[in-house]
Structure 1
């Protein structure tokens, strides 16, 4: 059965794969494949690139972002050596007329199936689970009634280190390729870091790259001009007009890599070829051994099965089954896979190349591991804590190779550490994390609890005389980077966020015996609540902020940007105000912000740049945060509507940003329907509903979390499982399965009375209970819930 079928493709019946049947998609539809160390992007056309560690500091192969052309990649040409006709294993770069073409993006792999001139080829691209190597595993079959002689030729360009390598005439001087044993090895005598005496351009790249093939090579080249030809291009390179490549492999050209092998196929016969690309750390890994071990058909098949098993073992530790196929697909597989493979491990996407971690960003993303492998969430949390200063503030982001990054003047970054810590403990009961000792970035050490306390104390020093937190250079919305640079402007969203954080963290303070600080935080809670309700209520909604000069933003007094989403949703989420103001605020959200494709971040969009607000006003109107649907914040609207029990608005807010549902207007959406986009255009844009900035966005984890915790309403809470679904009344119910360690919980929710919320009865292992305990006994437990 095909799910969410469009003119370009569909989901398979189990939701684990997306099949693209037409390569002329509105934008490149890609897969981001990573093992946490080595990563690749594979577009549906066969384009893409590779890196190790991060895509900015340790790029392996070249790609310059061009969403229109999608014309950089690691390509495989297939040529009939008798007729001279050639095409490519992916649609790009040749774009030949084909008999059939489809691409399968799966969890951890992409498969290209192509048939041209009665030659069928299938190319699987994937990355080893535990080695710095990628595979292009190709099966070629002769569907003609005569014997065919073919050659297969790879082609791509090297970077080997820092990207972009804009001064190529300089960089090309340092490559040193060699060929032996069907493998091209490449060193680069230019590293991006200074030597032991601080001298730049005086070190080598600290890896050796390689490209290998499982068959004996017919020929090879390491020279771009030899392959492409002067004034040629990848679609029609000079190499495809020559019987063989020139076997040139020296230091005097522009470095590329190309291996050519020859095969003969009888009618109906198929043969298998494996190409690999990898990068070995000098002094730690042997590139010869890596190439020899993995460039093998049998090993490639084993590695592919290991990839499939790894991802299913990980992702299927939590599964849902609801009447909503889109929710099932995203919650079970694609949102989790996107958050882990793309956001946390690869740290990159087609729309954005990242060289590091954002402090607040991947901290939030780490919540995806809570239901899968909590130890990986803990590892991420401890890593972030190491990038805090003794004063309590943090690096806004940092490079993952050699460190370094900007010390933030952003007012919310530091507070995500205690927020995620309390969420982690709530779900895992791992209180020991509070006692983990972690260094500060500027020296010294402290327990995680001390790190969290320093962050809160630092935030307490940043309050206005009115008892509201200062916005500083910006808060969650980086684009508001001119609102409070003099440290006088206030953030109402930050007040909401701090209110929730302190409420949740105070019990942990008391657990640690820090009663004096807990009492201080309780006083701040009262101040925050009083100040927000006294100064921030604008009659029908909460204002967003005040500028350094006192002007309100997100107020009826403003001509543009008179209502902001986060100031309303987090008033509900934090419970900082009374029910009447919550209701009015969310009614205003429905009136001005909730649209067909999710909730807008603000309304109306800014049409003129304002240097007193920031670059949010410089985006084209209706794009990204400037009056578009910024998906990260739009997920929080789902959360808030669920808390308000406004099921119609909640479900509209969810389905508007649930990618599979955009299959029904796919030419309007443009983006991949299997992963969340960072944003979609608002109504003022001529491309209303257009998606962009996919893969590398923090929205994936939050889309998953609002589905499980606030729509399905199943939330671990300090040793108990709180169950509070808010679902469409026409649902008969749903099933939720999740492991806690080695203990499996199956929650079956029945809705015989056709209600949208309200739990009538809970039966745990045959016994009625008020709350469901989370046990660690290695057994399977069943929870039966009746709504009514």
Structure 2
């Protein structure tokens, strides 16, 4: 009996093909390989291509080719060698050790060539704005590849961190929509398919003519669809269809900005239908969606409950006209968030409401399916007495030749964030929505408001390098991903469709986005965002790990509060707003007590350095630190368990990474203490920093690397994880395990010495540098201490088990650039710089278009990690990758702030001779131009001149003045 697993078969078909057709295959070309039998002894091969594509699957969709391929003998192997220049296909067959050339029907050749000739366009392309444009008739490379993210704008309204609406959208307009926190407006879809986020009916619509369905927005395989293309841009998606019957149909999907008196979250889809035929067209449009449930937990426990507590309902105006579908939930707690869907139709200069409604999914589908529902021809106008919240809205209209009609689908949520919403509020906000958009042009104005706001946001940093793709990415898509994550944390993208909450680690996104906000005058917003985390720090200094409106899992993870200190420090350093440290905020679980921001940060440091520490004076790892898969203490203590304790606490494991986080927190806090003239605390921190540094050197450094964890429960048998001789290696050729974060944070915290850095860089190149990037850790087996770590959860090469965790890789690149500026050895500096630029280049998402069906990922968004064995970019698309990539780019360009001064300290790549970029400082613009010969040039030890507005500066400090003018700065290395 043989047991075959997928990972053992990844290249099996390819290897077999090269064994059989070694004289015919071109090793410099790509081919598609597929086993033809389940004994895995014969293959079908087709090529040649510039990169891997699903060629066999695609041509098999054609009836003629599919029948031909199925007729091939499974006792033989078949190779179809395409000669693109000659437009011919040579057909070879392998059998019994011999290769024979056979004739291939000319019609089959022509058809295959036609089906594959445009394969290089299948994955789409990026335009000059960074928009991803794709043909919907072509195969998508992966579940994340063709997705977009949309964000509303509630800046200036209460609690923007938690109340800003957000959407995820696929290339057919599917997906779902959230309002505040994890409140689904359009229903998500909890299932095993990554490709499906929302209920499939969301945002879709149909056209019916003469009683026949002629169009469905999610089906481009219908014979009436001549062409269909999607454009994913920053904060909107447009989809365009041309039909064989002469219609041009366009869709634009975006989220409205917040308007006073309107619902707190409203997503809109504008559908425009233009009649390009020479006939008058009488059409019915039916738009659909599934509204989310207020009790999503019932889906796992009692689906019937979720349906019988609901009935359909509509809101009408005084004339009886339909304004909105509003499901009515009987339990009072379900009446705090009111979902709705409405339609507005514009025909011949007039606005109309929907004329028919369907509220029963089964009635609508009948014995058909969503592509061809039986109930489409006539909606029943029946209000169903049970859920779920399915809705179909219809309207008939007439279009003359050359004319167009518009149908706008509004989906939203009315909420007071905790209180029951009265009928008057529901009616008034729905009516206000109709009143505001009574003129079709008003929606275009709202759309431009959203676009203009983002243009102002992204204007903080603009680069002008010789790399066009880099410019398009850094200037357009990268800032939007960081912006989106600032309000959504890691909780909501196409494949993240559960109900994860905001955590303390997510504050890292503000490290990058705050500069964009403050540059556009939104300093108060940054303080409001920071306050959300400040008020989740308990009195003893530990934190809620997760929170939306209410915090939870207090003091369970050991790294949480330490991230906050870095965020506050960055804000104060950039703005010189020292008074922010005196602002008072509520302390949770104290009955209304308040303390200053400064005292909150002191409490975090006290807890992490005096209470929650182990035998070596380093912070305990607790349930886990930054790496959630390092669960090495099953009997961990919660923060509350330690309130009456004083460290060191015996027995428990210590996190070396957290020790580095603590050190940088204390370094930053020492600077803040100096700025507020707290000399006593400054002296206390000086001593604590020295004590911690001594302990790290004595116990954390293990001959060739910093350890990741120190153990205190196994005696001398097991004392540490990470570095030489730790006893955890899962590779017989490596004597020890190595973790990239131990390297990164030892440098960022200024703990590692130059000699230590040089040794660690050698180990990284030897054990962690893979063809696709830096692995999070070398092959490791932690089974002897725990069964719930990464090595027990994931296959090798995936996620925390040796995957290229791009978040951590960008931390490493940041650390390498920082060290390259500071070390005395220029050869080491060059080595560090080159490794950093190499890693950053691996992360740039637009490279996925070079080999889209192998690399997958997304060409506009940073995904979470890369499988270190296959090179596939795997989701979700939300992680700290984009944030730390942004911070690394800042470090490369040399942007460092000290209040209204910029310290220009660039570290450009070897071959780059000119780098231009601009930053916006409130109302002023600063254009920088850096010139150097090829090679390593740095401020530390190279001669340079710095000229600002034709005035030579004495050093690399640029004074930033908010005078509304354009300033020019030129740095020239000699």
Task: Give the TM-score, by structure 2 length.
Answer: 0.74
**Stretch of structure 1 that moved more, 120-129 or 42-51:** 42-51
* Map 1:219-368 → 2, pairs under 5 A: 219-229=356-366, 231-240=367-376, 242=377, 244-252=378-386, 254-281=388-415, 282-283=421-422, 286-294=429-437, 296-345=439-488, 347-353=491-497, 355=499, 357-368=501-512
Provide the C-alpha distance between the structure 2 equivalents of 1:661 and 1:390, rounded to a whole number of angstroms.
47
Counterpart of 1:61 (choices 175, 184, 187) is 187
Provide the C-alpha distance between the structure 2 equivalents of 1:162 and 1:310, rounded to a whole number of angstroms.
35
The match for 2:567 is 420
Q: 1:393, 1:458 within 8 Å by CA — same for their partners in 2?
A: yes
Q: 1:212, 1:275 within 8 Å by CA — same for their partners in 2?
A: yes
Q: 1:78, 1:150 within 8 Å by CA — same for their partners in 2?
A: no
| Misfit runs of 4+, over 6 Å | 94-97
Deviation (angstroms), 1:700: 1.6
Residue 677 in structure 1 maps to residue 820 in structure 2: no
Deviation (angstroms), 1:172: 1.8
Provide the C-alpha distance between the structure 2 equivalents of 1:86 and 1:342, rounded to a whole number of angstroms.
39
* Map 1:74-85 → 2, pairs under 5 A: 74-82=202-210, 84-85=212-213
Match of 1:541, SS? coil
Q: Aligned in 2, Cα 1:86/1:482: closer, same or farther, shift over 3 Å?
A: farther
Q: Aligned in 2, Cα 1:218/1:114: closer, same or farther, shift over 3 Å?
A: same
Provide the C-alpha distance between the structure 1 equivalents of 2:374 and 2:268, rounded to a whole number of angstroms.
26
Provide the C-alpha distance between the structure 1 equivalents of 2:222 and 2:552, rounded to a whole number of angstroms.
42
- For residues 758-779 of structure 1, give each alpha carbon's deviation from its aligned partner in whole angstroms, at most 9, with x where no partner exists: 4612112222221212223333
Provide the C-alpha distance between the structure 1 equivalents of 2:134 and 2:333, rounded to a whole number of angstroms.
47
Match of 2:553, SS? coil
Q: 1:483, 1:613 within 8 Å by CA — same for their partners in 2?
A: no
The match for 1:763 is 947
Provide the C-alpha distance between the structure 1 equivalents of 2:333 and 2:290, rounded to a whole number of angstroms.
23
Provide the C-alpha distance between the structure 2 equivalents of 1:577 and 1:752, rounded to a whole number of angstroms.
30
* Runs of 5+ unmatched residues, structure 2: 1-119, 154-163, 260-264, 346-351, 416-420, 638-648, 731-735, 821-828
- For residues 306-336 of structure 1, give each alpha carbon's deviation from its aligned partner in whole angstroms, at most 9, with x where no partner exists: 1111111111132112223343233222222
Provide the C-alpha distance between the structure 1 equivalents of 2:287 and 2:792, rounded to a whole number of angstroms.
46
* Map 1:328-477 → 2, pairs under 5 A: 328-345=471-488, 347-353=491-497, 355=499, 357-374=501-518, 375=523, 376-400=525-549, 403-443=550-590, 444-460=593-609, 461-477=611-627
The match for 1:139 is 272
The match for 1:625 is 800
Deviation (angstroms), 1:156: 1.4
**Stretch of structure 1 that moved more, 378-387 or 696-705:** 696-705
The match for 1:21 is 135
Residue 9 in structure 1 maps to residue 124 in structure 2: yes
Provide the C-alpha distance between the structure 1 equivalents of 2:275 and 2:190, rounded to a whole number of angstroms.
35
Deviation (angstroms), 1:602: 0.6
**RMSD across aligned C-alpha pairs, in angstroms?**
2.6
The match for 2:326 is 186
Q: Aligned in 2, Cα 1:545/1:24: closer, same or farther, shift over 3 Å?
A: same
Match of 2:304, SS? helix
Provide the C-alpha distance between the structure 2 equivalents of 1:188 and 1:96, rounded to a whole number of angstroms.
40
Instruction: Kindly name which structure, 1 or 2, has the bigger radius of gyration based on alpha carbons.
Output: 2
Deviation (angstroms), 1:673: 1.3
- For residues 500-536 of structure 1, give each alpha carbon's deviation from its aligned partner in whole angstroms, at most 9, with x where no partner exists: 2222220211222322222222112122222222222
* Map 1:82-121 → 2, pairs under 5 A: 82=210, 84-91=212-219, 98-117=225-244, 118-121=246-249
Q: Aligned in 2, Cα 1:723/1:483: closer, same or farther, shift over 3 Å?
A: farther
* Runs of 5+ unmatched residues, structure 1: 192-200
The match for 1:778 is 964
Residue 576 in structure 1 maps to residue 713 in structure 2: no
**Stretch of structure 1 that moved more, 23-32 or 583-592:** 23-32
Q: Aligned in 2, Cα 1:190/1:296: closer, same or farther, shift over 3 Å?
A: farther
Q: 1:11, 1:18 within 8 Å by CA — same for their partners in 2?
A: yes
Provide the C-alpha distance between the structure 2 equivalents of 1:647 and 1:690, rounded to a whole number of angstroms.
25
Provide the C-alpha distance between the structure 2 equivalents of 1:30 and 1:178, rounded to a whole number of angstroms.
32
Provide the C-alpha distance between the structure 2 equivalents of 1:150 and 1:596, rounded to a whole number of angstroms.
56
Deviation (angstroms), 1:90: 4.2
Match of 1:99, SS? strand
Counterpart of 1:170 (choices 287, 305, 308) is 305
* Map 1:515-594 → 2, pairs under 5 A: 515-550=679-714, 551=718, 552-557=720-725, 558-560=728-730, 562-594=737-769
Deviation (angstroms), 1:438: 0.7
Provide the C-alpha distance between the structure 2 equivalents of 1:575 and 1:394, rounded to a whole number of angstroms.
26
Q: 1:80, 1:148 within 8 Å by CA — same for their partners in 2?
A: no
Match of 1:27, SS? coil
Deviation (angstroms), 1:216: 4.1
Q: 2:845, 2:858 within 8 Å by CA — same for their partners in 1?
A: yes
Provide the C-alpha distance between the structure 2 equivalents of 1:72 and 1:408, rounded to a whole number of angstroms.
40
Provide the C-alpha distance between the structure 1 equivalents of 2:488 and 2:223, rounded to a whole number of angstroms.
35
The match for 1:126 is 254
**Stretch of structure 1 that moved more, 325-334 or 750-759:** 750-759
Counterpart of 1:652 (choices 817, 838, 856) is 838
**Stretch of structure 1 that moved more, 596-605 or 415-424:** 596-605
Q: 2:775, 2:802 within 8 Å by CA — same for their partners in 1?
A: yes
| Number of corresponding residues | 763
Q: Aligned in 2, Cα 1:119/1:658: closer, same or farther, shift over 3 Å?
A: same
Q: Aligned in 2, Cα 1:6/1:731: closer, same or farther, shift over 3 Å?
A: farther
- For residues 382-406 of structure 1, give each alpha carbon's deviation from its aligned partner in whole angstroms, at most 9, with x where no partner exists: 1110111111111001123xx2321
Provide the C-alpha distance between the structure 1 equivalents of 2:684 and 2:456, rounded to a whole number of angstroms.
45
Q: 1:149, 1:263 within 8 Å by CA — same for their partners in 2?
A: yes
Deviation (angstroms), 1:98: 3.0
Task: Give the TM-score, by structure 1 length.
Answer: 0.91
Q: Aligned in 2, Cα 1:562/1:62: closer, same or farther, shift over 3 Å?
A: closer
Q: Aligned in 2, Cα 1:516/1:613: closer, same or farther, shift over 3 Å?
A: farther
Q: 2:196, 2:494 within 8 Å by CA — same for their partners in 1?
A: no
Provide the C-alpha distance between the structure 2 equivalents of 1:663 and 1:104, rounded to a whole number of angstroms.
16
Deviation (angstroms), 1:672: 1.4
Relative contact order (alpha carbons < 8 A, sep ≥ 6): 1 or 2 greater?
A: 1
Provide the C-alpha distance between the structure 2 equivalents of 1:21 and 1:43, rounded to a whole number of angstroms.
13
Q: Aligned in 2, Cα 1:6/1:424: closer, same or farther, shift over 3 Å?
A: farther
- For residues 535-570 of structure 1, give each alpha carbon's deviation from its aligned partner in whole angstroms, at most 9, with x where no partner exists: 222322222112342532113332237110000111
Provide the C-alpha distance between the structure 1 equivalents of 2:576 and 2:222, rounded to a whole number of angstroms.
55
The match for 2:341 is 210
Q: Aligned in 2, Cα 1:656/1:112: closer, same or farther, shift over 3 Å?
A: same
Provide the C-alpha distance between the structure 2 equivalents of 1:217 and 1:239, rounded to a whole number of angstroms.
17
Q: Aligned in 2, Cα 1:7/1:751: closer, same or farther, shift over 3 Å?
A: farther
